[in-house]
Structure 1
Amino acid sequence: FVYAVISSDLRRDKNGNYTLIGDAEGNELGYFDKPLPCFGFGIGWFCLLFGFIFPLLWYYATILYFRNYYQKDPRERTGLAANAIAALICTIAVLITILIIFV
């Protein structure tokens, strides 16, 4: 007897042959096919761009970075890290400006 195991990753074509439509062992291949939120930029890059208008977005994205938000989607990590750097530079610039004005 021959038993055929048909996975949900297999599709039967017109000739009756089965074709693999996804990787059976790495089932997360289709996970990254979804576009990122915020017009495809991702939250990190979106906050970085609009942070030049509203700098508190840099701090919001930095909090997301330190709370490991990128665990949900690793593609977000670089944008969130860029926000952490921008927030650091902004904080240093504000501190230096305050020192110059009040000292």
Structure 2
Amino acid sequence: MGDLNQQASTDLVDQRKGEYLLIRDAEDGQLGRFDKPLPCFGCGIGWFSLLLGFVCPFMWYYAAILYFRKYYHKDPRERSGLAASAIAALICTIVVVIIVGIVLL
């Protein structure tokens, strides 16, 4: 407890000198972990794959594989886009199976 008071007092002394203090959350040591923008023009791999999948549906399957391999554990911001692409891949598969079933029957 004494060390914490010593740290706080030196921070106050530094603040009075006009130096900036780094704001930290004592419980979350990874506060700045997700400060950098997402890949693929800032929208993330999942959303980029969803949009590009309308031109090349294999991108939906690529994102679905990333979703099922839990790529979003590296960056939780990717989870929604990867899930959307996995759903698009599922819908695409169902439509293709129905179309192939109608053509062959």
TM range (shorter): 0.7 to 0.9
Provide the residue aligned with 2:48 in structure 1. 46
Matches within 5 A, 1:84-95: 84-95=86-97
Q: 2:25 aligns with which of 17, 23, 26?
A: 23
Shift of 1:69: 0.2
TM-score (norm 1): 0.83
SS in 2 for 1:34: coil
Provide the residue aligned with 1:34 in structure 2. 36
- Structure with the higher strand share, 1 or 2: 1
TM-score (norm 2): 0.82
Q: What is the percentage of aligned positions where both structures have the same residue?
A: 62
Shift of 1:37: 0.5
Q: 1:98 aligns with which of 80, 92, 100?
A: 100
Between stretches 53-62 and 23-32, larger displacement belongs to: 23-32
Provide the residue aligned with 1:61 in structure 2. 63
RMSD, aligned CA: 2.4
The 2-side partners of 1:20 and 1:38 are apart by 30
Provide the residue aligned with 2:82 in structure 1. 80
Unaligned 5+ runs, structure 1: none
Cα offsets for 1:30-85 (capped at 9, x unmatched): 11211001000000000000000000000000000000000000000000000110
